Amino acid sequence: MASLFYCFFLEAQLPQCCSATRQFAMLMTDANFLKAHQSPLPFRGNKPAGKMISFSTPDGKIGHAYLVEPVQSTDRYLVVFHEWWGLNDYIRHICDSLRTALGTIRVIAPDLFDGKVATNPKDAARYSGAVTDARAKAIIEGVLGYAGPRARVFTIGWCFGGGWSLQASLLAGTRAAGCVMYYGMPEKDITRLKTLHADVLGIFANRDQWINPGVVDQFVADMKKAGKHLEVHRYDADHGFANPSNPVHNEAATRSAYRYTLAFLKARLPKP
């Protein structure tokens, strides 16, 4: 069964019976996908500048997130979605860096694993595969509620989080202001894409065997049919190339993608 899923991904012909996020979850049964994700290298950075917060979620539970406050109060939010490793020190470091680079904006990283962090592919597959659409959407709705009805919401994510970055921008409705997704599973329902209120920046890897060039080409075509703006940059790199704790890290591609990311976000940030 796992090999069947693998073939579907290589041909960019995943069945349309389930959501984009569940399609990504199918990869957790693919031994090749797990083998392509080596355990992350130890990450050493500065002491986190932000703090963990809690908030209510519509399913009656509590959600958690890492929040980095700006110097001045603002209704601009950047929601950061972690990889399949979870909300770890590397993601906190990225949040700190983005807040510094973007200025007056709140950066908030929801924990879609509800407290679990993986340090090896086996646990990462187990945690990310166990995430339900209902719970993840409840956490995102909780973040949007925390941001408030007047917030301008930007999203960014990688791999597992790349797909959720796009889903969060869809959930944000008219509050959505810009979406960045790094090698995440695209939304394939054109009817849903038509409801998107934000431009999208897609960063993809040509050597990615799963979110492969065929999947990206289909996303480009679907966004065009939906009448939405999509900016795409592709790199001769592997899935997960932008994380320096990843053994397949590509430094040159990461620097280039980060420049495009900052330019995309800054161009859409409302003036103070």
Q: 188: buried, middle or exposed (CB in 10 Å: 19+, 13-18, 0-12)?
A: middle
Task: Tell whether the model's pLDDT for residue 13 goes beyond 50.
Answer: no
Concatenated DSSP letters for 46-114?
A: PPPSSEEEEEE-TTSSEEEEEEE--SS--SEEEEEE--TT-S-HHHHHHHHHHHHHH-S-EEEEE-TTT
Looking at the structure of the chain, the number of domains it has is 1
Residue 44's pLDDT is 75
DSSP state of 186: P
Residue 6's pLDDT is 34
Greater pLDDT, 33 or 134: 134
* pTM listed for this prediction: 0.91
Residue 84's CATH number: 3.40.50.1820
Residue 272's pLDDT is 58
pLDDT band at 40 (very low <50, low <70, confident <90, very high): confident
Residue 46's pLDDT is 79
CA atoms of 258 and 249, how far apart (whole Å): 13
Mean pLDDT of the region 39-63: 90
Residue 3's pLDDT is 33
pLDDT band at 109 (very low <50, low <70, confident <90, very high): very high
CA atoms of 230 and 15, how far apart (whole Å): 23
pLDDT band at 9 (very low <50, low <70, confident <90, very high): very low
Task: Tell whether the model's pLDDT for residue 4 goes beyond 70.
Answer: no
- Among the residue ranges 44-53, 67-76, 124-133, the one predicted with the least confidence is 44-53
**43: amino acid identity, one letter:** F
Instruction: Give the residue numbers spanning the domain of 27.
Output: 2-43+51-268
Residue 84 contacts residue 54 (beta carbons within 8 Å): no
